Structure 1
């Protein structure tokens, strides 16, 4: 059970989003929200106080006062006015969005009633997941609005493997629809929830991806590399990046090499020699992104912010610039890891070391792994075409919202790059499996592949297939390579 108290960890988000861990709202969070809500009620009941986001229009309509009898309709209209289009988002991304929004409310500076956060958590526990479309929003507004519509019984949801109206799913679970009160529609729509929620899931994936890259690179080195001194711990002493140290350590662990006191006799290609620098740089940016997410997961990201003493601040806490910049940096670093993996795959298929050209004994009859290498190169080019989002400006009409942080666009780009590069590393691993099988056959020795290293994919094949590559990609993201490292020194 995860207690939502205005401060989550990345692991909390992963547990709720992917493992469907149950959630509850902390009693202290209820008290904080009630105190902030009282300040909103005081504004609404005042005869002469007009406050943006409480009893006015939004954005460019901020000078329009909303009468008390129209406030509920106004709040519901604001979440109806934002749309998403395209294919539905994955369920784990939707769950992460719901959790992060409830947690931001739990900080107690949003001015919403506790029941709004409680209702989001009820939907999570019941497995009622709003259908949120993946495109049409550079910021979080549309994604969050789709979640908010489910609370008022509108839009479609998935529930027990069926698609139905939100109202029907709520009725089946005995959950009442909400009648939104002043401030609550904007609070559900605004703020960052999709961006940090999805980014929290992605940094988990990138952690697994970079470890898979270290393992794949180490195994490739064991096949075609010559000079292990490039991975010596002494190198990290004179350029002490922690990312380098971790990647170099994993490479030494997997290969079982002694990289100390080397007298260099040759130089390997940079795709082998620079692995700890390239992979390590991704680890550095990953640590930065994780730090930013940790801060975001204990933040109130609303506009306006409403404090229990009645102070109200119109601000830009909904802007996700720091997260979009972090996502862009990760996307660029992941792309480079994909590039270097593709180059290592090229070394394997070119017939270096004791390996036959194209990783086949039947050159001329078939092309072996050559076409799969074409796919890896194409995927690397595809990843490189993803543009940065954090430096863009999506200017919208009416003047008020003239810049955006573009956090949602940045994390969507990162998700695309992570998927693409995972396939590249999967192809490198496929080549490694094939190479070891061929060497085993040539030398008439026992297999040097660790027993639980993708054992079900250890099969005779000349031409790679889509099913095989997808299966390896799944193993990269489910943590399999982390579990096999203990046995990898058999290679």
Structure 2
């Protein structure tokens, strides 16, 4: 059970909810804050105070006063008019993340919603009812208005959801689970959609997948080192301590543990004096990516516990301020930074693939072919990897450098953070496929060298991977192997595998 407080949600907590099916509840103390905040909103309505989004219109209509009797209609109109997202829906796990993060943010007690709104969000999570939310249509400021409006529709019994493996009308799933639709009251529609939960939910899933990929690329690279009879001296602790980056030092240490005991790894000067950079500089390059992932994790965990709607209610309603916490710039930068860092893991991986298949760069069979000339082997797999790497270079262009004014120039600078988070997700999928290709090639290379000479860890990794990817004894449709390997890398419980197989010293 994960208890939401609005203050303490971590990525590890989120993993349990998103992937482990952990149930969610709200802390009693946080609910009390929510109740006080709601009282403040109701007093504002009764006293006919002029407060943005409660007794006024939205955006450029902020100067238009709304009669108290139209409060519910105002919220209904807001959600329906703003639910204009387009394109393919976010992955279901991202939708689940958005519901989780929206509930947590509202529990901070600055948003003025009734506790029942949060209760419904938590009911959706615990019942596995996930809104169908189109990916495109958010500028990443003023909140992720369009995506979150599709989330809010479900609370109202409208829109569509994913439920038990099917896509259906929201009211059907709600009825099956006994969840009653809501009529949104003053401020509640605005509180639901004025936030960064689309880009942050996507970013959260991105980080979880990227973290696993970063670990996997070290294991795959270790097997490549064996397949190419790489030089272990470059991973000596003294080299990396001399530079001083913690993440670089940690990558080198993990590589040493992974190749420990290998009879395929060589010493400096034994076969050659130096390896190519794609082998020798693994700690420096992968370590820099880890530095970036650490930065992204820090920003995500702040944003996951942030109040990002507008206006915010303080001091039991004595202070209601229209600010700009909905602006997604911090996450926009983090996602753009992540794109570059994760893309680089594929960039260097593709260079290792080239060294595995190019007969001018190794003493392995050309293109790892079982019958060079008659059979092409891994030749075109390298083409595929090169194409994915090139595509990533285009996707890695920062979304956050762009801005287009909206709402008649009232909202004249926006983050495009949701676009950045979506592109980061695309890059991660491409990177996983590049790593799948390196894995296929590394498996073939160590098999040629003699698997009995492998390190204990990489031999265990080889054994598990061979259950998914057969040896190349004949040309075949390698697209199937790439997809099978990529799916395995996504689904494998990597933490358990590492803890069960990686030497501790």
Q: TM (normalized to structure 2)?
A: 0.91
Distance 1:98 1:480, change over 3 A: closer
Alpha-carbon distance, 1:372 to partner: 0.6
Contact residue 227 and residue 449 of structure 2 kept, 8 A: no
Contact residue 234 and residue 280 of structure 2 kept, 8 A: yes
Further displaced range: 80-89 or 470-479: 470-479
Distance 1:427 1:192, change over 3 A: same
Q: Map Cα deviations across residues 311-330 of structure 1 (whole Å, 9 max, x no partner).
A: 11110101111111011111
Distance 1:327 1:97, change over 3 A: same
Alignment partner, residue 429 of structure 1 = 439
Q: Following the alignment from structure 1 to structure 2, what is the Cα–Cα distance between the partners of residues 28 and 480?
A: 35
Alignment partner, residue 400 of structure 1 = 410
Match of 2:176 among 156, 160, 172: 172
Alignment partner, residue 21 of structure 1 = 22
Q: Following the alignment from structure 1 to structure 2, what is the Cα–Cα distance between the partners of residues 160 and 216?
A: 35
Runs of at least 5 residues in structure 1 that lack an aligned partner in the other structure: none
Alpha-carbon distance, 1:80 to partner: 1.1
Alignment partner, residue 88 of structure 1 = 89
Match of 1:410 among 406, 416, 420: 420
Mapping 1:14-413, distance limit 5 Å: 14-47=15-48, 49-82=49-82, 83-139=84-140, 140-256=144-260, 266-310=273-317, 311-351=319-359, 352-386=361-395, 387-413=397-423
Q: Map Cα deviations across residues 369-395 of structure 1 (whole Å, 9 max, x no partner).
A: 001111011111011111211111032
Secondary structure of the 1:385 match is helix
Contact residue 433 and residue 449 of structure 1 kept, 8 A: no
Mapping 1:425-464, distance limit 5 Å: 425-440=435-450, 449-450=459-460, 452-461=463-472, 462-463=474-475
Q: Following the alignment from structure 1 to structure 2, what is the Cα–Cα distance between the partners of residues 260 and 470?
A: 33
Distance 1:441 1:124, change over 3 A: closer
Secondary structure of the 2:274 match is coil
Further displaced range: 81-90 or 366-375: 81-90
State how many pairs are aligned.
Answer: 486
Alpha-carbon distance, 1:101 to partner: 0.3
Distance 1:266 1:116, change over 3 A: same
Secondary structure of the 2:249 match is helix
Distance 1:15 1:487, change over 3 A: closer
Root-mean-square deviation (CA, aligned residues, Å) is 2.4
Q: Following the alignment from structure 2 to structure 1, what is the Cα–Cα distance between the partners of residues 16 and 492?
A: 15
Secondary structure of the 1:457 match is coil
Alpha-carbon distance, 1:260 to partner: 13
Distance 1:223 1:255, change over 3 A: same
Secondary structure of the 1:431 match is helix
Alignment partner, residue 470 of structure 1 = 483
Q: Following the alignment from structure 1 to structure 2, what is the Cα–Cα distance between the partners of residues 436 and 427?
A: 14
Alpha-carbon distance, 1:19 to partner: 2.5
Runs of at least 5 residues in structure 2 that lack an aligned partner in the other structure: none
Contact residue 145 and residue 188 of structure 1 kept, 8 A: yes
Q: Map Cα deviations across residues 221-248 of structure 1 (whole Å, 9 max, x no partner).
A: 1221443222111122221111101211
Alpha-carbon distance, 1:195 to partner: 1.7
Alpha-carbon distance, 1:482 to partner: 4.9
Alpha-carbon distance, 1:174 to partner: 2.1
